[in-house]
Chain A
Amino acid sequence: EAGVTQFPSHSVIEKGQTVTLRCDPISGHDNLYWYRRVMGKEIKFLLHFVKESKQDESGMPNNRFLAERTGGTYSTLKVQPAELEDSGVYFCASSQGHRGTEAFFGQGTRLTVV
């Protein structure tokens, strides 16, 4: 069974540009999460989809970040325009259940804004 897949694995963009990250969850997982880790710090929650609906987007930093999950399958996270502080590793995870269920993580997308 395929795991959680993220594209691209690395992205280097200039400040002010737009970047779109993609996540393909494990098939059949209704719950999809986005997290971000800034160098050396905690992994921070960004948002949670249940199927195509946003269950919780309280962790989204600001309106430059837009997440979508059309059709309840793959998800995209767009940053527009990117700022230097957006640099970090963006993780996607998926799970069947939520509260007591472990999530399966992708390998992450390392975003560097220069």
Chain B
Amino acid sequence: AQSVAQPEDQVNVAEGNPLTVKCTYSVSGNPYLFWYVQYPNRGLQFLLKYITGDNLVKGSYGFEAEFNKSQTSFHLKKPSALVSDSALYFCAVRDGSGYSTLTFGKGTMLLVSP
């Protein structure tokens, strides 16, 4: 069975500082990894994905994530946080080796203070 762990319910960071939102996964085959963001009263918005290739993936709004196979991690990062980045972030995984549904983590609330 595949699973995703987001160990932090909430991450607090000051505006202008770098941010990291952690994600680890478990999947039997090749991991296809995704990050989504949910702003208040909105649906989930796709940020970025890792399918294959370069371990560092760049996405929307200046976010990036690094795939680390040995640590089974896919942490979301941004060099300089903005107050407008405050939202709920979800990591998700799918087994790319065959048919598989998307499994989400519980979500991490990111709060960026001015």
Residues of A at the B interface (CB closer than 8 Å) are 3-4, 6, 33, 35, 40-45, 48, 55-56, 58-59, 91, 93, 98-100, 102-108
Asked if B74 is an interface residue, CB under 8 A from chain A, the answer is no
Decide if B41 touches A107 in the complex (CB within 8 Å): yes
List the B side residues contacting A44 at CB < 8 Å.
Answer: 104
Task: Name the residue in A35, A102, A105 with the highest tally of chain B Cβ atoms < 10 Å from its Cβ.
Answer: A102
Q: Output the nearest chain A residue to B32 by Cβ-Cβ distance.
A: A100
Residue in B43, B46, B100, B105 whose beta carbon sits within 8 Å of that of A99 in the complex: B100
B18 to chain A, nearest CB (A): 25
Q: Output the nearest chain A residue to B49 by Cβ-Cβ distance.
A: A102
Query: If A40-B106, A102-B34, A105-B36 touch, does A45 touch B44 (CB 8 Å cutoff)?
Result: no
**11 further contact pairs, Cβ within 8 A, besides A99-B99, A104-B46:** A42-B104, A42-B106, A43-B104, A43-B107, A48-B101, A58-B101, A100-B96, A102-B34, A107-B42, A107-B43, A108-B43
Q: Output the nearest chain A residue to B105 by Cβ-Cβ distance.
A: A42
Decide if B43 touches A105 in the complex (CB within 8 Å): yes
Decide if A99 touches B94 in the complex (CB within 8 Å): yes
- Cα(A93)–Cα(B51), bound, Å: 19
Decide if A56 touches B99 in the complex (CB within 8 Å): yes
B66 to chain A, nearest CB (A): 18
Count how many pairs of residues, one from A and one from B, have CB atoms less than 8 Å apart in the complex: 56
List the A side residues contacting B34 at CB < 8 Å.
Answer: 102
Q: Output the nearest chain A residue to B46 by Cβ-Cβ distance.
A: A102
Q: Output the nearest chain B residue to A100 by Cβ-Cβ distance.
A: B51
Asked if B73 is an interface residue, CB under 8 A from chain A, the answer is no
A4 to chain B, nearest CB (A): 7
Q: Output the nearest chain B residue to A3 by Cβ-Cβ distance.
A: B43
List the A side residues contacting B102 at CB < 8 Å.
Answer: 33, 45, 103
Residue in B43, B101, B103, B105 whose beta carbon sits within 8 Å of that of A106 in the complex: B43
Query: If A40-B106, A99-B96, A100-B51 touch, does A45 touch B46 (CB 8 Å cutoff)?
Result: no
A50 to chain B, nearest CB (A): 11
